[in-house]
């Protein structure tokens, strides 16, 4: 039996900011930060943390860590193991040997590129969070101590392979309808396998996601993916 924590009371986390991102729902969000550079976000500090002094000196850094909360998740069910997509969605590993969102405290960690510092706002690139995600802390990235070329990760050693742009099919009428920034984001997202790992071979099935104010639907066609519908999402 483990020793009791020697603490005076519960440690309560409070958000310091709210993330605004293109992702209106969990499905379609990249599984790691940095995979989709076109996915920009805004870290909007809450009034108590919006004073310029809180980010004084941050302009010296190109990247920041965001400590976030998986606010769309159901409560943790106590499961000790999860099924990472990188292992096909069938093999189990311990929750602490994974980056799965279903975990005891529901905390996430995103490394993003810092694009701009504004009044109470950070503009960042490569975000992997749902719109409205709470941010509990912001820390500068230190490459001299946090980038370890000798580190190993075995089954997660490399970034997931993406599709070549030639295998992302966008009909001319959809390409004409989408704003240029949304089209760029959609292409980068569709280069990834967004569907559940156990459905990876389910050719012809139509998937949908709400992103950047648009409802997008796509399907696999052989080794390619085809965007089959794009319409503005309804407000509210």
**Domain CATH code at residue 109:** 2.40.30.70
25 assigned to some structural domain: yes
Residues 39 and 75 in one domain: yes
Domain with 217, as residue range(s), is 165-232
47 assigned to some structural domain: yes
Integer Cα distance of 23 and 42 in angstroms: 12
DSSP result, 126-195: S--S-TT-EEEEEEE--HHHH--TT---GGG-SPPPPPPGGGEE--HHHHHHS-HHHHHHHHHHHTS--S
102 assigned to some structural domain: yes
Number of domains in the chain: 2
163-172, 198-207, 214-223: segment of lowest average pLDDT: 198-207
The tokens for 55 are 């980010």
CA 147 → CA 35, 36, 108, 143, 163, distances in Å? 17, 20, 19, 5, 27
* Per-residue model confidence as pLDDT tens digits over 150-188: 888 776 767 777 788 889 999 999 999 999 999 999 999
Residues 36 and 133 in one domain: yes
Residues 78 and 126 in one domain: yes
Tell which of 114, 146, 178 closes a domain: 146
Q: What's the whole-number mean pLDDT along residues 104-123?
A: 96
Tell which of 98, 114, 146 closes a domain: 146
Residues 142 and 177 in one domain: no
157 assigned to some structural domain: no
* Per-residue model confidence as pLDDT tens digits over 44-89: 999 999 999 999 999 999 999 999 999 988 888 999 998 887 777 7
Is the pLDDT score of 143 beyond 90? yes
6 assigned to some structural domain: no
Tell which of 87, 113, 146 closes a domain: 146
């Amino acid at each position: 039996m483990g020793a009791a924590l020697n603490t005076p009371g519960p440690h309560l986390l409070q958000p310091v900011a709210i993330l605004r991102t293109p992702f209106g729902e969990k499905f379609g969000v990249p599984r790691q930060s940095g995979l989709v550079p076109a996915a920009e976000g805004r870290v909007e500090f809450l009034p108590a943390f919006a004073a310029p002094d809180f980010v004084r000196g941050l302009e010296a850094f190109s990247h920041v860590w965001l400590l976030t909360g998986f606010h769309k998740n159901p409560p943790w069910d106590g499961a000790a193991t999860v099924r990472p997509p990188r292992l096909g969605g069938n093999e189990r590993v311990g929750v602490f040997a994974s980056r799965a969102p279903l975990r005891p405290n529901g905390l996430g960690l995103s490394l993003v590129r810092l694009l701009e510092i504004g009044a109470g706002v950070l503009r960042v690139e490569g975000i992997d969070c749902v719109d409205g995600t709470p941010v509990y802390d912001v820390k500068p990235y230190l490459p001299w101590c946090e980038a370890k070329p000798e580190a190993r990760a075995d089954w997660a050693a490399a970034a997931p392979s993406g599709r070549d742009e030639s295998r992302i099919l966008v009909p001319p009428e959809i390409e004409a309808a989408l704003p240029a920034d949304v089209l760029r984001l959609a292409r980068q997202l569709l280069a990834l396998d967004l569907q559940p790992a156990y459905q990876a071979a389910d050719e012809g099935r139509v998937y949908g996601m709400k992103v950047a104010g648009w409802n997008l639907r796509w399907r696999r066609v052989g080794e390619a993916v085809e965007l089959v519908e794009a319409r503005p999402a309804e407000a509210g």
